[in-house]
Amino acid sequence: MIPTVWLASYPKSGNTWFRILVANLWSKLDTPININLIHSTDSIASGRNQFDRQTLIDSALLTNDEIDRLRPASYAYAAAGNTLADPDDPCFPVRFVKVHDAYIRNDFGEALLGGAAGGAGAILFVRDPRDVAASFAHHMRCPIDMAIDRMADANFCFAAATDRVDRQFRQRLLSWSGFTRSWLDQRDIPVHLVRYEDLLSDTAATARAALAFAGIEPDPVQLDRAIAFASIGELQRQEAQHGFREAPRDVRGFFRRGVAGGWRDELHPHQIARIERDHGPMMDRLGYDRSTVITEQRL
């Protein structure tokens, strides 16, 4: 049976970059893969199509809470090999699945993602929240201050509207700190932590360790080729030429800067102080140095 490994991240933390890198690693082409044809991973866990096909239920007829009660069984069913994949799709040694849901439980007390039955483990991508703020604001088409508010909101969700049917299910992100804590502190499945900054500074070693966690030992030459094919310049070139279908509507430049520390020239001092006040304990836990001295009560 092919193991399922979640690729979990708060948005704008390197998840998509890693997926494209893996797609190039497993590609037989001698040119970079089309960023709109990422065959290395399943679609996002919150997508409706697979759920509807597996359950034979039109999820548009269900409430958000009703869907959450069924999601654990759906993920367990898929992890057991019942993915309803296109027979023409290539078969890979690991089933990677992108997820933006925090690791939470539904109102039945079940792990939303099915616990050990839903996935063998998770690779958790994190990024300095100061860099996330500017990138998230661009992604959400909102002011940076609003993005900072959302990152501090313990009730923040994607696709939670009840007056329309989104392409994806409701995703409870919690706050940036809450999202990260939910994955690190759960004990259902093992987690491998990847910092975006480490993936950027030593891509080969960081990617190799993440892949080893998933049971994959990449060929060094193929890994170097995949890294080159997934460079930010190549991703920007393809997006400029063909667009990127995973980008939100009306967002130009999904692959924006691809740097670490860009917050220093994008955020005002009061914004930096707010983020460090909101998320200081988790920043400390992840090894992100603070630029301001803030007195706080540890959680």
CATH at residue 22:
3.40.50.300
For residue 270, is it within any domain? no
Side chain identity at 31, as an amino acid letter?
A: T
For residue 278, is it within any domain? no
pLDDT of residue 90: 58
pLDDT of residue 295: 39
pLDDT of residue 197: 96
- 3-class DSSP state of 239: helix
**pTM summary value:** 0.91
For the chain, 299 residues long, give each residue's pLDDT as a single digit of tens: 799 999 999 998 989 999 999 999 999 889 999 988 887 677 799 999 889 998 999 999 999 999 999 999 999 999 998 765 554 555 688 999 999 999 999 999 999 999 999 999 999 999 999 999 998 998 888 999 999 999 999 999 999 988 889 989 999 999 999 999 999 999 999 999 999 999 999 999 999 999 999 999 999 999 999 999 999 889 889 888 888 877 776 666 677 777 889 899 999 999 999 999 999 999 999 999 998 644 333 33
User: Which structural domain range is residue 176 located in?
Assistant: 4-128+155-252
Q: How many domains does the chain have?
A: 1
Do residues 298 and 281 lie in contact, with contact meaning Cβ atoms separated by under 8 Å? yes
Buried b (16+ CB within 10 A) or exposed e, 26-58: bbeeeebbebeebebbbebbbebebbeebbeee
